[in-house]
Amino acid sequence: MLKQQLQQKLQQKLSPQQLQLIRLLELPTVELEERVKHELEENPALEEGKESESDAETDESIGPNDEESEATDANEDLSLGDYLTEDDIPDYKLRELSERAEKKEDIPFSVGESLNEHLLEQLGLRDLPEKEVKIAEYIIGNIDDDGYLRRDLSAIADDLIFQAGLEVEEKEVERVLKVIQDLDPPGIGARNLQECLLLQLQKREQTEATRLATRVLKDYFEEFTRKHYDKIQKGLNIDEAMLKKAIREITLLNPKPGNDWGGRMDEAMTQVIPDFIVDSNNGELTLSMNNRGVPDLRINREYADMFQDYANNKANQTSERREAVQFVKQKLDAAQGFIDAIKQRQETLLRTMEAILYLQRDFFLTGDESTLHPMILKDVAERAGYDISTISRVSNSKYVQTNYGIYPLKYFFSESMQTDSGEEISTREVKKIMKEHIDAEDKRKPLTDEELAAILKEKGYVIARRTVAKYREQLGIPVARLRKEI
């Protein structure tokens, strides 16, 4: 039964300007550079260069917040500018507005050979029927960055039928996959870790150790991953020395054979570029932003003058001229909004980093990890005068260069705990002690979480076993059983 109801709701919506600022806050330096370049290419009203005083005065007269400008827009029926896009206006009306005085030439760059290209190149040397070549190319396209094929062969066969129009059975796909698995690098195209390691062993010189390693992976893979070495010894009826040789052969294999084929562009994208630079000199700290790749931005003078000229000649306001005015105004408003958002981003990042610098001053002066104080997002938010969500966005994917190395901002955040004497310390210090003891442990009898908790208690840190387990997992250290060696 349908019923009509009247509901009153209070909803908070972000303006486009606020959304733009949020997105810019989350971007690290490298991505910000790309975002600025994209905006410069897309908006002819935006250009590189420092803003002059006359530019600032003109910007005020064309800004979206100017009451007089808004009134004029309303009187002249120009309020549609906020909703018009370039697609709404004929090309011939916008050609003179879209052309820029100077066009930048694309700079060519070279990248290293990708894994996909490396495999296709080898495939071209194989004498395969055309149908199998198409199947192989599709399989290679589905191999991930680690070098694994993590899709079911039946799903690949279905895709080939519907997308490529090839009547293919699963057995054919598997037969072609065997060809790909024979390519370089060894282990490529495996569907799981066990198959990956076995494929690599097949290409190694067949010695007693490699043959034994193959048996371990084939018949005792689960026991091997769980380090139940006693069960493997008993099942294969071998001594500890032989088991060590087999395990050594396995540890020399590459569990991710595709990792060596990252192109230069991938490396550039993963290269850490600091967003902040902190210098320590004679007990004084100096903070600066790393804006070397982000140019100064300003409004294009020609576009601003064009808008003033169109807006002032109200007597000649034809429908085509109004559309032209709207296009120019839209681009000017977008350019000014982007400039303001960049400025606000810089200010927000700087104030946040200043707060972190104040709270962790001892570390930036000495580089000693033990001097880091407990610090959470709320502490920085209160100091900087921002919301916690803003601090979270700023600290994500941002780095600071210090006299002692480059650190992610998240490095400086940690919870606090108290010692048995009531002293407040950072959990980072506790994790450091745990790691030191685990690194120095007897690998034949690794320390359990209970034993680690007892060691910490002796040092004055009263921590429950489950908390020790949580810290160990945060450090990326497996349980004692999986750290055992023979």
Label each residue of the chain as H, E or C: CCCCCCCCCCCCCCCHHHHHHHHHHHCCHHHHHHHHHHHHHHCCCEEECCCCHHHHHHHHHHCCCCHHHHHHHHHCCCHHHHCCCHHHCCHHHHHHHHCCCCCCCCCCCCCCCCHHHHHHHHHCCCCCCHHHHHHHHHHHHCECCCCEECCCHHHHHHHHHHHCCCCCCHHHHHHHHHHHCCCCCCCCCECCHHHHHHHHHHCCCCCHHHHHHHHHHHHCHHHHHCCCHHHHHHHHCCCHHHHHHHHHHHHCCCCCCCCCCCCHHHHHHHCCCCCEEEEEECCEEEEEECCCCCCCEEECHHHHHHHHHHHHCHHHCCHHHHHHHHHHHHHHHHHHHHHHHHHHHHHHHHHHHHHHHHHCHHHHHHCCHHHCCCECHHHHHHHHCCCHHHHHHHHCCCEEEECCEEEEHHHHCECEEECCCCCEEEHHHHHHHHHHHHHCCCCCCCCCHHHHHHHHHHCCCCCCHHHHHHHHHHCCCCCHHHHCCC
- Residue 25: what pLDDT? 86
Residue 404 or 79, more confident: 404
Other beta carbons within 10 angstroms of residue 50's beta carbon come to: 9
Question: Is pLDDT above 80 for 365?
Answer: yes
The residues, any chain, with a CB within 8 Å of residue 439's CB and separated by 6 or more, are none
CA dihedral 390, 392, 398, 402 (to 10 degrees): 100
- Is residue 43 within 8 Å of 307, Cβ to Cβ? no
- CA distance linking residue 145 with residue 133, whole number of Å: 21
Dmax over CA atoms of the chain, in Å, equals 101
- Is residue 18 within 8 Å of 72, Cβ to Cβ? no
Question: Is pLDDT above 60 for 299?
Answer: yes
Give the torsion sign (CA, 316, 317, 320, 322). positive
- Residue 52: what pLDDT? 64
Question: Is pLDDT above 90 for 357?
Answer: yes
Residue with the two structure tokens 């029927």: 129
What residue ranges of the chain are covered by domains with CATH 1.10.10.60?
A: 416-483
Residue 107 or 31, more confident: 31
Averaged pLDDT, 26-39: 86
pLDDT digits (tens, 9 = 90+) for 83-117: 333 344 344 333 444 443 333 333 333 345 678 88
- CA distance linking residue 34 with residue 316, whole number of Å: 41
Please give the mean pLDDT across all residues of the chain.
80
- Residue 460: what pLDDT? 84
- Residue 97: what pLDDT? 40
- CA distance linking residue 148 with residue 140, whole number of Å: 10
**Residue 407 phi, psi dihedral angles, 5° rounding:** -125, 140
- Residue 176: what pLDDT? 94
pLDDT digits (tens, 9 = 90+) for 212-253: 999 999 999 999 988 888 999 999 999 999 999 999 999 889
- Residue 386: what pLDDT? 92
Residue with the two structure tokens 């681009």: 331
pLDDT class of 322 with cuts at 50, 70, 90: confident
- In this prediction the pTM is 0.52
The residues, any chain, with a CB within 8 Å of residue 301's CB and separated by 6 or more, are 55
Question: Is pLDDT above 80 for 15?
Answer: no
- CA gyration radius, the chain: 32
- CA distance linking residue 401 with residue 292, whole number of Å: 14
Cα–Cα–Cα angle for 51, 54, 57, nearest 5°? 100
- Is residue 371 within 8 Å of 3, Cβ to Cβ? no
- Residue 81: what pLDDT? 33
- CA distance linking residue 201 with residue 213, whole number of Å: 8
Other beta carbons within 10 angstroms of residue 462's beta carbon come to: 13
- CA distance linking residue 208 with residue 246, whole number of Å: 9
Instruction: Quote the percentage of the chain above a pLDDT of 90.
Output: 34
Averaged pLDDT, 290-305: 82
Residue 402 or 292, more confident: 402
- Is residue 269 within 8 Å of 145, Cβ to Cβ? no
* CATH H superfamily, domain 416-483: Homeodomain-like (1.10.10.60)
pLDDT digits (tens, 9 = 90+) for 374-423: 898 999 999 999 999 899 889 888 999 999 999 999 889 887 776 666 66
- CA distance linking residue 359 with residue 336, whole number of Å: 35
